[in-house]
Amino acid sequence: MEIVVCIKPVPEAETRLRVAPGGQTLDAEGVKFVLAGYDESALEQALLLKESVPGSKVHVVSYGPPPRTEEVLRAAIALGADLATWVEAPAGTAGDPIVAARALAGAISSVPHDLVLCGKQAGDDEAGLVPPALGELLSIPDFGSVAELRWDPSLARFKFLRSTDAGGERWEAPTPCVIGLQQAWNDPRTAKLPNILKSRKAPIAKRPADPSNPGPRSVPTTFELPPPRTGARMIEYKTPEEAAQKLVRILREEAKVFP
Amino acid sequence: MPDFSLSAEQESLRDMARKFARTEMAPHAAECDRTARFPEEIYRKAYDLGLMNLNVPAEYGGSGLGVFDQCLIVEELAHACGGMTTSVIANCLALEPILLGGSPEQKERFLKPFCADYHFASFCLTEPSGGSDAGGLTTRARREGDHYILDGEKCFITNAPHASLYTVFATIDPSLRSKGITAFVVPRNAAGLSPGKDEEKMGHRASSTSTVRFDGVRVPVEDRLGEEGGGFSIAMRTLDQTRTPIGALATGIAQAALDHAAAYSLKRQSFGKPISQHQAIQIKLANMAQAVHAARLLTWHAAWTIDRGGKGTLESSIAKCFASDAALHVADEAIQTFGGYGYMKEYPVEKLLRDAKLTQIYEGANEIQRTVIARELLRPYA
């Protein structure tokens, strides 16, 4: 099975983000970009499928600027991806999900793909637009918020669960299709040290951005950081029972969490 | 221009070690310390990820890292737990004599099967009568035909109860002092080899330490490393390679102590404000930060010297000695920052002091390091 996984470099979770002068972009200076969250789960899913279906290959594809994009591709190779393609982003365009989807679709359409896996949304902007856009651009079915994905060899179909607010839906899907995965239900593995060393020397196919890919149709006007949190309130108490009683009173009478 | 930046590869190695340390080791550090449990499940994962035989070349199944890269990893691991780190890196110490003194055939025969699976090895130099005076060791190796017969006792041997392979230093004639010392590789199943019971230790309690007795242990001549009488040089050159990562281990403990103290100082209130706003605490934190930074840079410099082919005896002794003294001091100041809470086992900093203490003692006590530093520094003046 040929599995393509789309990954995006996102700021490490502990990063303190700053808005760049002008207010329309985030300041990337000193920010560490990593393979994280939904994409990490998507890659783990691809590696599990590869291990269960003999002869499978995992091909990671990322669209973005240097050096962060190369770094997440190498991280994916260290985790077990067989091939990597980097679609180079012209400066300033990497943030738009539809532009990214067009760039990724261009790369994916030129390589074998029985399954295109993505995180259901990116760990930073959480737009969630790339998986459905890829489905449209590649003219194949797409599914989001997927968990418990497995391959049924007797039916030659994927089986999975789609979680919704109302409950769960069980689905089957043919090849090829695009699947956007839920986060952190499959305990992503850690790269082994020798594989990290090997990944540094692994080839990465570079693909220039398609000049015919139109730029974003929308751009954010300004970025704002969340307001600083107001101070926590300490409860004075002598016994745990007293602490609990005071907390319940505050939750009921002041925060009105319950009647 | 000297370059203090890490390569992308080094950052990847450090990130991986950090992730392992924080997700696999740190959550169990307090429990293993309390119960003196040897967490095999964590060590097995460390082996699976390639963290256990860092210095063994890839051709023999190790990770093949230089000393600098080892230091990056060791500091991250020690940030989570000094004791676990000691057990994870003990193979580097025990296998280094084979790397330095073994023939190609011996490396192939000992290292390949060892590294191919989850195994521990132990470095057996120190004896009950002394560790610093290594030239005066008394474990005997008597030649009988194509075998040596080993008799004696080693003590404070890391991982000894769990080891499958021991590198052992014994003398063919005590009157020859260091010139009689000879190195051997001995498997666990050799008749007459018996590890003692786990020692009850002040710190590094997730690690295992015991005596190893040799009662008429027969070792084939082909398991001798180097020549008869060449063992002392192998032992000293081994320690030249492994001393610097102990500086990194101490730096990791010190960094953990600083991290805990800094975070605590921001949330602990006294006199109506966080204690981080009191100069007394600011000065403490500033001094701790200086010690940690200097310990790291000395360690990096020693590692860099060795990786460039230098002997690094002076640099590694300075790094190990300074970093371990710094670790004890910084852990002490972290406890002081926590006040009474710092003295309580419920908080993480008292463990750091107990773990830091050992770094001043093992792999060459700091008194010996200072002797070495003095000897090396006086050389140009003589």
Q: Which of B320, B328, B326 is CA-nearest to residue B298?
A: B320
**Least confident interval from A6-10, A93-97, B182-186, B287-291:** A93-97
Interface test with A, best of B6, B9, B11, B12 (most A CBs within 10 A): B12
Distance (Å, whole) CA B79 – CA B259: 10
Cα A187 to its chain centre, rounded Å, is 15
Classify residue B116 as exposed, middle or buried by CB count within 10 Å of its CB (0-12, 13-18, 19+).
Answer: exposed
Report the DSSP pairing between strands A177-181 and A205-207: unpaired
Q: Which residue of A has its CA nearest to B49?
A: A192
* pLDDT for res A154: 94
| Nearest chain A Cα distance for residue B11, angstroms | 10
Give the Å distances, CA to CA, from A126 to A39, A86, A95, A96: 12, 21, 11, 12
Distance (Å, whole) CA B120 – CA B165: 7
β-sheet bridge partners, residue A119: A181
Query: What's the rounded mean pLDDT across residues A155-170?
Result: 90
| Nearest chain A Cα distance for residue B5, angstroms | 13
Tell me, yes or no, if B20 comes closer than 8 A to chain A by beta carbon: yes
Which of A4-18, A221-235, B43-57, B121-135 reaches the highest mean pLDDT? B43-57
Distance (Å, whole) CA B14 – CA B73: 6
Does the pLDDT at position B247 exceed 80? Answer: yes
Q: Which helix (H) or strand (E) holds B76?
A: helix B67-80
Query: What's the rounded mean pLDDT across residues B10-15?
Result: 95
Query: What's the rounded mean pLDDT across residues B296-313?
Result: 96
Tell me, yes or no, if B291 comes closer than 8 A to chain A by beta carbon: no
Contact between A200 and B20 using a beta-carbon 8 Å cutoff: no
Please give the sequence-ordered ranges of beta strands (E in DSSP) within B36-175, or none if there are none: 121-124, 140-144, 147-158, 165-171
- Asked if A181 contacts A117 with a C-beta cutoff of 8 angstroms, the reply is yes
Task: Please identify among residues 11-50 of chain A the ones whose CB lies closer than 8 Å to any CB of chain B.
Answer: 34
Tokens 């982003």 belong to A89
Give Rg (Cα) of chain B.
21
Contact between B12 and A190 using a beta-carbon 8 Å cutoff: no
What are the structure tokens assigned to B64, written together?
């093949």
Tokens 């006294």 belong to B270
Give Rg (Cα) of chain A.
22
Task: Please identify among residues 136-195 of chain B the ones whose CB lies closer than 8 Å to any CB of chain A.
Answer: none
What's chain B's length in residues? 382
Which residues fall within 8 angstroms of residue B345, CB to CB, at 6 or more apart? Answer: B34, B351
* pLDDT for res A182: 85
| Nearest chain B Cα distance for residue A41, angstroms | 16
Classify residue A113 as exposed, middle or buried by CB count within 10 Å of its CB (0-12, 13-18, 19+).
Answer: buried
Classify residue B7 as exposed, middle or buried by CB count within 10 Å of its CB (0-12, 13-18, 19+).
Answer: exposed
Tell me, yes or no, if B64 comes closer than 8 A to chain A by beta carbon: yes
Interface test with B, best of A15, A31, A193, A195 (most B CBs within 10 A): A193
Residue among B9, B23, B58 whose CB faces A194 most closely = B58
Query: What's the rounded mean pLDDT across residues B229-241?
Result: 96
Query: What's the rounded mean pLDDT across residues B317-324?
Result: 98
**Least confident interval from A155-169, B90-104, B241-255, B367-381:** A155-169
Query: What's the rounded mean pLDDT across residues B326-352?
Result: 97
Does the pLDDT at position A155 exceed 90? Answer: yes
pLDDT band at A93 (very low <50, low <70, confident <90, very high): low
Query: What's the rounded mean pLDDT across residues A18-44?
Result: 87
Please give the CATH architecture assigned to the domain spanning A2-208: 3-Layer(aba) Sandwich (3.40)
Q: Is the dihedral of CA A169, A174, A179, A185 positive or negative?
A: positive
Query: What's the rounded mean pLDDT across residues B236-257?
Result: 97
Q: Which residues of B touch A191 (CB under 8 A)?
A: 12, 16, 49
Tell me, yes or no, if A204 comes closer than 8 A to chain B by beta carbon: no
Please give the sequence-ordered ranges of beta strands (E in DSSP) within B91-236, or none if there are none: 121-124, 140-144, 147-158, 165-171, 181-187, 193-195, 209-220, 224-225
Q: Which of A128, A110, A111 is CA-nearest to residue A119?
A: A128
Cα A253 to its chain centre, rounded Å, is 41
What are the structure tokens assigned to B187, written together?
């498997």
Interface test with A, best of B15, B59, B70, B73 (most A CBs within 10 A): B15
Amino acid at A156: A
pLDDT band at A229 (very low <50, low <70, confident <90, very high): confident
Q: Which residues of B are catalytically annotated? A: 363
Round the average pLDDT of chain A to a whole number and report it: 90
* pLDDT for res A184: 61
Q: Which of B105, B123, B113 is CA-nearest to residue B163?
A: B123
- Asked if B320 contacts B369 with a C-beta cutoff of 8 angstroms, the reply is yes
* pLDDT for res B373: 97
Does the pLDDT at position A95 exceed 80? Answer: no
Tell me, yes or no, if B117 comes closer than 8 A to chain A by beta carbon: no
Does the pLDDT at position A163 exceed 90? Answer: no
Domain range summary for chain A, segments of one domain joined by +:
2-208, 230-259
Contact between A78 and B12 using a beta-carbon 8 Å cutoff: yes
| Nearest chain A Cα distance for residue B116, angstroms | 13
Query: What's the rounded mean pLDDT across residues A3-17?
Result: 91
Q: Which residue of A has its CA nearest to B47?
A: A192
pLDDT tens-digit readout, B69-95: 999 999 999 999 999 999 999 999 999
Query: What's the rounded mean pLDDT across residues A179-189?
Result: 82
What's chain A's length in residues? 259
pLDDT band at B37 (very low <50, low <70, confident <90, very high): very high
What are the structure tokens assigned to B352, written together?
């750091």
- Asked if B169 contacts B179 with a C-beta cutoff of 8 angstroms, the reply is no
Query: What's the rounded mean pLDDT across residues A219-232?
Result: 80
| Nearest chain A Cα distance for residue B346, angstroms | 17
| Nearest chain A Cα distance for residue B280, angstroms | 24
Contact between A196 and B8 using a beta-carbon 8 Å cutoff: no
> According to DSSP H, which parts of chain A are helical?
38-52, 68-79, 97-109, 130-138, 193-201, 240-249
Query: What's the rounded mean pLDDT across residues B92-104?
Result: 98
Amino acid at A12: E
Query: What's the rounded mean pLDDT across residues A130-137?
Result: 96
pLDDT band at A217 (very low <50, low <70, confident <90, very high): confident
Distance (Å, whole) CA A86 – CA A75: 13
Q: Which residue of B has its CA nearest to A72?
A: B12
pLDDT band at A185 (very low <50, low <70, confident <90, very high): low
Round the average pLDDT of chain B to a whole number and report it: 97
**Least confident interval from A59-73, A92-106, B75-89, B332-346:** A92-106
Tell me, yes or no, if B6 comes closer than 8 A to chain A by beta carbon: no
Classify residue B264 as exposed, middle or buried by CB count within 10 Å of its CB (0-12, 13-18, 19+).
Answer: buried
Please give the sequence-ordered ranges of beta strands (E in DSSP) within chain A, or none if there are none: 2-6, 10-11, 33-34, 57-64, 83-88, 115-119, 142-152, 157-164, 167-173, 177-181, 205-207
**Least confident interval from A24-33, A86-95, A211-220, B182-191:** A86-95
Distance (Å, whole) CA A70 – CA A73: 5
pLDDT tens-digit readout, B277-304: 999 999 999 999 999 999 999 999 999 9
Q: Which residues of A touch B73 (CB under 8 A)?
A: 193
pLDDT band at A92 (very low <50, low <70, confident <90, very high): low
In this prediction the ipTM stands at 0.86
Q: DSSP 3-state assignment of A178?
A: strand
Contact between B64 and A191 using a beta-carbon 8 Å cutoff: no
Q: Which residues of A touch B63 (CB under 8 A)?
A: 193-194, 197
Does the pLDDT at position A87 exceed 90? Answer: yes
Cα B68 to its chain centre, rounded Å, is 14
Tell me, yes or no, if A71 comes closer than 8 A to chain B by beta carbon: yes
| Nearest chain B Cα distance for residue A64, angstroms | 18
* pLDDT for res A30: 84
pLDDT tens-digit readout, B132-178: 888 899 999 999 999 999 999 999 999 999 999 999 999 999 999 99
Q: Which residues of B touch A75 (CB under 8 A)?
A: 12
Tell me, yes or no, if A67 comes closer than 8 A to chain B by beta carbon: yes
Contact between B51 and A193 using a beta-carbon 8 Å cutoff: yes
Tell me, yes or no, if A121 comes closer than 8 A to chain B by beta carbon: no
Contact between A196 and B13 using a beta-carbon 8 Å cutoff: yes
Q: Which residues of A203-223 are buried (b: 16+ CB within 10 A; e: fewer)?
A: ebeeeebeeebeeeeeeeeee
pLDDT band at A45 (very low <50, low <70, confident <90, very high): very high
Does the pLDDT at position A94 exceed 60? Answer: no
Q: Which helix (H) or strand (E) holds B89?
A: helix B82-101
Which residues fall within 8 angstroms of residue B236, CB to CB, at 6 or more apart? Answer: B134
